[in-house]
Structure 1
Amino acid sequence: MVRIAELLAYPLKSNDGVAVDRAELGPKGALRGDRSYALVEAGVDPHEASVGGDGGYVNGKREPAVHGLGASYELADGPDATPTAVTLDRPDRPVTGIDADERRFALPEDREALEAWVGEYLGYAVDLVREPDGGLPDDRAAPGPTVVSRATLATVAAWFDEVDDAAEMRRRLRPNVVLSDCPAFFEDRLFTDHGEAVRFFAGDTPILGVNPCQRCVVPSRDPDTGTEIAGFRERFIRKRRETRPTWLDSDRFDHDFRLMVNTVVPGASRGDTVAVGDSIAVGDAVSVDEA
């Protein structure tokens, strides 16, 4: 039986994740606390900005130095990955008067101190923005938890000599839900054509698989240093084409630089809790209007 092997949230968008045993599905469907904070260029409205490489978010798509920041979190109680504090560390660099290379920030109280500390590291002013209810996902049309299988991570890691193992590939791809006891590319069963979604169940909770995630430059970079694998995209596309399941026939899979599944959580499922060990059962295709 397919099960949830790992649940991961990324409380500070584009920074390190944290594993949790269980998580509530929040008001917009994301794991509660996931991407609840983000860094943007000073003055940027996070709700209007694009998450692309030139949209104003301080993310791996546009700022390789983000990979040099390490983050660990203190979390709220309950099935909630909202951070009450974050400890950041940055690579050794000349300090110009603000602080050393590691510092703990209470959230949201130390927002201004965090902005100054990170801004010094990056060399330009940033704002720490907060969206406590729905988070700040990349796919605003499908903001539910992203899903991939552990076997997929291991298979894709093996395509690249520069990637150590499935755990490193997970850090590069940044999923919320990792499945076990299933073959590679099982998650490709969780989407179908435009206008439809695949209803699947995490325990008793229905979730809608909508589209395969379009990848960007981030998986090509070492998650700690930002060093990029030469020819990553080309090799990924070639291997993805070679290993594409024969049954995968979806007009949403319009090119081979896609991996992982974006989801929508129906309104009735929001507030439910999903947990490591929950079984996964795949249902039928339904209209996306049912979200």
Structure 2
Amino acid sequence: MLAAPLSGYLEHIKVQRRLAPRSLVIYADALLRLQNLAGAGGIALLTLRPHQARSLAAKLHGEMDLGPRSMALHLSVWRGLYRWLGAERLVELNPFDGLRAPKAAKPLPKALAVDDAVQLASFSGGNAADGAQALDARLEARDRCMVELLYGCGLRVSELVGLDLQAGPASLGWIDRQAAEATVLGKGSKRRSVPVGSAAMAALDQWLQVRGQLARSDEPALLVGQRGARLGAVQIRASLKARALAAGMPAHVHPHMLRHSFASHILQSSGDLRAVQELLGHAHITTTQIYTQLDFQHLAKIYDAAHPRAKKKQ
């Protein structure tokens, strides 16, 4: 259990920053780890000094074998804790100021090629080449709608899970069919609206024709499982993985890969980074800029394949 100052900070960020439940679990885990490390070393948290902070950070890397990204996350949480403790006049300084984790390599997000993404979105489970029994038509309609919304709107899996059939007082998200727009609740509890393309709207209409045969009468969720309740993130990932394998995709496909594909393909076609930022709901354009590297890789491949001076001698 967290000590009073740490639990107070956790409650503060829960109320003030309105973090998602999963983020709160991550913060609580980092705070508990700080409390345990300090307790094992006989260090009082409210009198923690910079050299002791460096020692605790070293233990993250040495004893706990955390990678650079995990270390950076922990140090960010700890730094925020002491910033709050200072504002509450419980400490005199922030011992984690200036303390940074080792730099981690930044792998590029994985995106499908345009042809592969279109093939997956157009795939019909009932026409499997291996002669397998056709999928339940209702689940087929649902999964096609799922893929179209992920790839056609660039939604996060949590945003897709939160979509309701229609707007309501407790709705996290919904689709306005008349306006062809999806309203979702993204990171930081920020709402945004994204356009829903004609292909996604067609898939949505097909799903809505059979949704009532699966959904419970009082279930508000847009996507439901075989038991009639809201479809969860784990179920969406499993369904997408199975669908991608059946469609002959060259790699493991997960929901965020379709979001990356959405961003990359929009940027390739338009070159409008600011628009992609708005569609993805990124708070900072620096987050979106990683897709310019994907776009450059695309151009480099075209150059290597087409330019006479790029071709290797046979």
Instruction: State the TM bucket, normalised to the shorter chain.
Output: under 0.3
In proportion to residue count, which structure has more helix? 2
User: Greater Rg, structure 1 or structure 2?
Assistant: 2
Q: Which has the higher contact order (CA 8 A, sep 6+)?
A: 1
In proportion to residue count, which structure has more strand? 1
